[in-house]
Amino acid sequence: MSATKSLVAAAPLLLIAAASPGRAACLLHAHEFFPERNDRVHVRVETDTKSFCDNSFREGPGYRFTDVSLVKAPRQGLVATLGPNHFEYHAFPNRSGSDQYTIRACATVGERRGCSTLIYEVTIR
């Protein structure tokens, strides 16, 4: 796997994390979440101020997202909404240390429904 692209499986949902080509890497550590369980998941992220961290959610078999939204913005960077279920984090220039933002992903699977809270714990190098 290249330094500029990471694929992280969130069974049965998928989350793709990639940095733009030619830029330093953004690394999202492997994690799983299951909205029908109303779970709370901490996601570790490592990045720098030149990288863009792509958070693109895809539905797994039987899942249908009903809402994916930013519920807590970061203090040391920005999260841009790029489309349905698609977000991008970018740290402010000249920053280092830690940051955090939260995304809530709601879905149905069969007759079950629920929401996962994904807390992104960012280390800016």
Question: For residue 83, what are the contacts with CB-CB under 8 A and spacing of at least 6?
Answer: none
Confidence band of 36 (pLDDT split at 50, 70, 90): very high
In this prediction, residue 25 carries a pLDDT of 84
| Sheet of strand 13-18: strand arrangement | 5-10, 13-18, 53-58, 86-91, 77-83
Overall average pLDDT of the 44-56 stretch: 94
pLDDT, tens digit (0-9, with 9 covering 90-100), for 9-21: 333 343 433 333 4
**Report for 8-12, 24-28, 54-58: range of highest mean pLDDT:** 54-58
Q: What is the pLDDT of residue 20?
A: 39
CATH class as words, domain 5-124: mainly beta
Span 95-119, pLDDT tens digits? 999 999 999 999 999 999 999 999 9
Per this entry, what is the length of the chain? Answer: 125
Query: What's the chain's average pLDDT?
Result: 84
Kindly give, in sequence order, each residue whose CB lies less than 8 Å from that of residue 111, ignoring residues fewer than 6 positions away: none
Domain boundary assignment for the chain: 5-124
In percent, the amount of the chain with pLDDT more than 90 equals 71
Query: At residue 39, does pLDDT exceed 90?
Result: yes
**What pLDDT, on a 0 to 100 scale, did the predictor assign at position 24?**
54
